[in-house]
Amino acid sequence: MGLTPRPERQIVEAPTDVPWITTKLDAFVNWGRKNSLWPMPFGTACCAIEFMATAASKYDLARFGMERQAFSPRQADLLICAGRVPFKLAPVLRRIWQQMPQPKWCISMGACASSGNGIFDNYAVVQGIDNIIPVDVYVPGCPPRPEGLLYGIMMLQKKVENERSSDRSLRNEMEPDPETQLYIPPSVIDELSEPFGNSVHQTRSGL
């Protein structure tokens, strides 16, 4: 706690014949990570079409270091959930997230994945994948244009760039509650997935 003496300073002789720079380890590692994110697309709906457009030659995801798409969660850093997730897929998405090794990030692409999109406020669709897995960046849009997804990816890159390796909590796996398998308390889920606006009053069948 400040009482240990500083170690002897070591003077390193810089070689004169090769170019060299000094940097911080964090900056170096984060620079590497942010420029070689391997995305794992989890495309379930029309957002996946926009994702394909983003990955194709016109927008070219490879410019952002995503040359290689990982279609196996075990070789992926970044889960891009593109499209609505029905309850039947919820355990699958959870399993895929758990299969990804750290460090890992998640982009929720589009309104359905982020919030259930309102129009899918029904018996079958999860109201936002953040109920199942932690999300780093939400990309709005229905579906978002490729520029939108690229902006979200750049935001994530900024986030990766600013990570501190001394903050161990970043790499903690979130353990779901063993009884309910939920990350967030049930009351919070119920409150957050209340319908917006006047849709409460739209009980069409009158029953």
Partner 1 sequence: MSNGFTPVVAGSASGTNAPAPATSKNIPNRGGTPNPSADALRTQFGAAIQRVDVVWGETNVYVDRPRLHEVIQWLHDDAGQRYDYLSDVTAVEFRDLEQPLEVVWHLRSLPFRRFLRVKVILEKGTALEVPSVWDIYRGADWLERECYDMFGIAFVGHPDLRRLLMWEQYKEGYPLRKDFPARGRFSRSEQLRQALAANPEARYSKEELSIADAFEDLPTDMQRRLGTGERTGE
Instruction: Specify the 3-state DSSP secondary structure of 82.
Output: strand
Site of tokens 């997935």: 193
Question: Closest CB to partner 1 among 167 and 177?
Answer: 177
The stretch near partner 1 (CB under 8 A) out of 41-49, 64-72, 88-96, 167-175 is 88-96
Judged by CB under 8 A, the stretch of 15-23, 49-57, 84-92, 139-147 that binds partner 1 is: 84-92
In what side-by-side order are the strands of the sheet with 105-109?
39-43, 78-82, 105-109, 137-139
The CA-based angle 141-76-37, given to 5 degrees, is 65
**Smallest gap from residue 176 Cβ to partner 1 (A):** 8
Rounded Cα distance between 49 and 109, Å, is 11
Task: Find the part of the chain contacting partner 1 (CB under 8 A) among 20-28, 33-41, 82-90, 163-171.
Answer: 82-90
Site string for partner 1, 2-31 (x = CB under 8 A): ------------------------------
Secondary structure (3-state) at 171: helix
40, 100 contact by CB (below 8 A): yes
181 contributes a contact to partner 1 by CB under 8 A: yes
Handedness of CA 76, 77, 78, 81 (dihedral sign): positive
Total residues in contact with partner 1, by rule CB under 8 A: 29
Asked if 198 is part of the footprint of partner 1 (rule: CB under 8 A), the reply reads no
Segment 113-172, which members bind partner 1 (CB under 8 A)? 121-124, 126-127, 131-132
180 near partner 1, rule: CB under 8 A:
yes
Among 62, 72, 91, 99, binds partner 1 (CB under 8 A): 91
- Only one of the segments 4-12, 24-32, 76-84, 177-185 lies at the binding site for partner 1 (rule: CB under 8 A); that segment is 177-185
Residues in the chain: 207
Please report the DSSP string for 104-146 in residue order: -EEEEEHHHHHH-TTTT-STTB-S-GGGTS--SEEE-SSSPPH
- By CB under 8 A, name the binding residues for partner 1: 87-88, 90-92, 94-95, 121-124, 126-127, 131-132, 176, 180-182, 186-187, 189-190, 193, 195, 203-205, 207
